[in-house]
Chain A
Amino acid sequence: DIQMTQSPSSLSASVGDRVTITCRTSQSISNYLNWYQHKPGKAPKLLIYASSDLQSGVPSRFRGSGSGTDFSLTISSLQPDDFATYYCQQSYSGPATFGQGTKVEVK
């Protein structure tokens, strides 16, 4: 199975900060990388698919980039609604696998 390594596992930030989360895969996955936002007690939400395509209805402050084995999710200006846990997920081969998550907390 393809292994996913997300970093950091958590971060503290303030409203208005630029935040970047990285995801590295154990083998090249082209652009088969997706990002999800998850809040406690809520349904996870697709933010970015195919590495850089913004899901309909997702604010443009979310940006995904990367290909091969290195990917990133950037929130250009953190908003109060963005405090959550973020997961990357690969769909290139084998079972879908997720990163361990990055919890974005209030500084």
Chain B
Amino acid sequence: NAGVTQTPKFQVLKTGQSMTLQCAQDMNHEYMSWYRQDPGMGLRLIHYSVGAGITDQGEVPNGYNVSRSTTEDFPLRLLSAAPSQTSVYFCASSYAGADEQFFGPGTRLTVL
């Protein structure tokens, strides 16, 4: 099993550009989520999904979109990148009702 995979590992964008961060898991987990991690801020939940076709907002959803068309994939879209979105982004997944989440390796995003 590859676990939770994320691409790309690093990305530099200019203000106003759009892009999609990819997340996939091969553990047949129902729950998937996106976090951002900024220095001194811990992990903050952006969006999450409890299954294919179902998504909801987390603590800091503004500027991000998600969709969940399959159990395996949960992409995160930045519609118009801003410098405030410079961060490290982690995708995580778990079985429904389970508390332990498994994390991907992260994507380091810089917006100039």
A binds B: no
Residues of A within 8 A of B (CB): none
